[in-house]
Amino acid sequence: MCDTCGCNLTPGNQHLAFKPVARGATAVSVLKGLLAKNDDQAAHNREHFDRRGILAINLMSSPGSGKTALLEATLVALKNEFTCAVIEGDLETENDAERIRAKGVQAHQIVTGTACHLDAHLVHDALHHMTLDGVDILFIENVGNLVCPASFDLGQHLNVTLLSVTEGDDKPAKYPVMFRAADAMLLTKTDLLAVLDDFDCDKAEAHLRNLANPAPVMRLSARREQGMEAWYAWLREQLAAQRARVAVGQSRRPAIQGDGQKLHSATAR
C-alpha cells in the first residue's frame, strides 16, 4: 500500500535510504516494514469494519487477567443499547466463545494452536464466518500474552490492555511494547485490592505515563460490577467517535502506530 510513498521514512531513519552501494555487490535499499504483508491485510480488515461503521477493539493481557469476564459483564450491560460480536483467540479451546454465546452474543473462536498471537489473516478468516451487518462493536480477545500480540495489527481501531491487580503494578515497565500500544488500560479485579497489599494503582498509572502513553486508566471489577460505568461511557464515546470518522471517510489505527503517522503527515507537508 505504501511501497512508493516513502512513509516508512522518519527523521530517525531517513539517512539509511541513501547509503552508498558497496563495491562489487548489488545492494538494494528496501526500508520496508517487515510486517508489511500483515499490515496490508489489517488495512483491508479495517475497511470491512469502516464500511459497516463497526468499532473494532482488540483486548490484550496476560492469561487470566479477566478479558472474557469483562466481556461477559459488558455484553449483558450493553445488550439493549448496542449489537456486539466477539472474536475469541485461544491456543487450544472453544471455551471462551461458548462463555460469550451463553450471553446470547455472536462469537467466533480462532484456535491458534501453537501461534501465541492473532494476526490480520486469522482475523480476516474469522470475519468470513460471521454476520457483520448490524454490528456496532466487535471485540477481539487476543491470545493471553503480554509480548507479541502488540506487534501484529489486526485492523482494530483501538487496543485495550488489561492488568489485573494480582499481577504486580510494574507490568507496564516490564512489557513496554505492549503497554505503549494501549489506547486504554484497565486495572481489573479491583475487588481483590482489599486483600492484596502490594498493588498500587497510582504506581501502575505512573509506569504507563513513563511510556509516554496518555491513555485513560480505568479501575474496575467485572465480577463485582465496580467501576464499570466509566468503561461503558468510554465505549459509548469511542463508538460515537468511530461513527463521526466514518461519516467523513476517515479511520483510525491503534496508538502504537500514532507516532509514525504523525511524523508521516508532518514530513509530507
What's the CA gap between 191 and 188, in Å, rounded?
8
In sequence order, the β-bridge partners of residue 87 are: 108, 140
Smallest distance, Å, CB 61 to other proteins? Answer: 16
Distance of CA 100 to the CA centre of its chain: 19
Q: Is residue 6 near ligand GDP by the rule CB under 6 A? A: no
169 CB neighbour count, 10 Å cutoff: 19
Question: Is residue 253 involved in binding Zn ion (CB under 5 A)?
Answer: no
Nearest CB to Mg ion, comparing residues 96 and 153? 96
Among 39, 50, 72, 96, binds Mg ion (CB under 5 A): 96
247 is written with which cell numbers?
461519516
Q: What is the nearest approach in angstroms of ligand GDP to the Cβ of residue 173?
A: 21
Cβ of 34: how many Cβ atoms within 10 Å?
9
Q: Which of 144, 149, 172, 254 binds ligand GDP (CB under 6 A)?
A: 144
Angle at alpha carbon of residue 36, lines to 32 and 42, rounded to 5°? 150
- Taking CB under 8 A as the criterion, which residues in 65-124 touch other proteins? 115-117, 119
Q: Which residues contact 180 (CB under 8 A, 6 or more apart)?
A: 150, 211, 212, 213, 255, 256
10 binds, among other proteins, Zn ion, ligand GDP, none (CB under 5 to 8 A by kind): other proteins
Q: How far is the CB of 262 from Mg ion (least distance, A)?
A: 33
Question: For Mg ion, which is the closer residue by CB, 138 or 211?
Answer: 138
Query: Which candidate, 155, 140, 157, 117, places its Cα nearest to that of 38?
Result: 155
The correct pick among 91, 111, 116, 193 for binding Zn ion (CB under 5 A) is: 116
Q: Which residues bind Mg ion (CB under 5 A)?
A: 67-68, 96
Q: Which residues bind ligand GDP (CB under 6 A)?
A: 61, 63-69, 144, 188-189, 191-192, 221-223
